[in-house]
């Protein structure tokens, strides 16, 4: 899980390949063509800060505003990239324990856990900003807030099953299902 930064916003992202492919939400990057990426290794243990040389530049390769997805590419990714294994929606069930890692309210690399409340195929989702999206969503109690967008929702096998996208209130948090990411 990485920190994604633009001129206006910070969010989260997930490394999908050792070639430097990263998925995040479209609303995190919107019309930006280049974004900054920071890996957890860059964060100093004694304080939350990083240097200019810790920021990798990523180019926006592809966007899908309807599903709220964006695919980024780091030009020169670090050699030791850790990528996340993708899970399968066929193994995702209501009541299943899950956990998330993201950057809520700028609190970097925060961990939260919860339960899958529902799976909502082809669901129209209107976010707090008034934008309309449509995808298969995993509704979860794993807490998300501003800055969590683009973060990872995991099963307890450590597999990515969703990309955090929105919170509509306490206990009403949504992640774009992994099958939408695989089809992107």
Residues 12, 102, 148, 149: which is the catalytic one?
149
In angstroms, the CA 84 to CA 60 distance is: 20
Active-site annotation holds for 103: no
82 is catalytic: no
Annotated active-site residue 148? The verdict is no
Q: Which residues pair with 110 in a beta bridge?
A: 102
Residue among 8, 12, 27, 103 flagged as catalytic: 27
Q: Which residue has the tokens 């810790």?
A: 54
- Name which of 137, 74, 148, 70 is nearest 107 in CA terms: 148
Instruction: Extract long-range pairs of 168-173: CB within 8 Å, 24+ residues apart.
Output: 168/127, 168/128, 171/117, 171/141, 172/139, 173/114, 173/139, 173/140, 173/141, 173/142, 173/143, 173/144
Select which of 68, 102, 103, 148 is catalytic: 68
Residues labelled catalytic: 27, 68, 149
């Amino acid at each position: 899980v990485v920190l994604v930064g633009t001129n206006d916003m910070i969010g989260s992202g997930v490394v999908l390949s050792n070639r430097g492919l990263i998925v995040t939400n479209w609303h995190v990057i919107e019309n930006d063509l280049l974004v900054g990426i920071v890996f957890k290794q860059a964060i100093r243990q004694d304080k939350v800060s990083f240097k200019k040389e810790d920021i990798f530049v990523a180019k926006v390769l592809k966007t899908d505003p309807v599903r709220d997805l964006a695919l980024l590419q780091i030009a020169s990714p670090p050699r030791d990239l850790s990528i996340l294994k993708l899970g399968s929606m066929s193994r995702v069930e209501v009541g299943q324990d899950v956990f998330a890692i993201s950057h809520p309210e700028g609190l970097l690399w925060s961990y939260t856990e919860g339960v899958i409340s529902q799976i909502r195929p082809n669901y129209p989702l209107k976010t707090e900003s008034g934008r309309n999206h449509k995808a298969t969503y995993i509704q979860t109690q794993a807490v998300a807030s501003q800055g969590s967008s683009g973060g990872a929702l995991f099963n307890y096998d450590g597999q990515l099953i969703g990309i955090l996208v929105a919170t509509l209130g306490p206990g009403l948090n949504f992640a774009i299902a992994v099958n939408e990411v695989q089809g992107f």
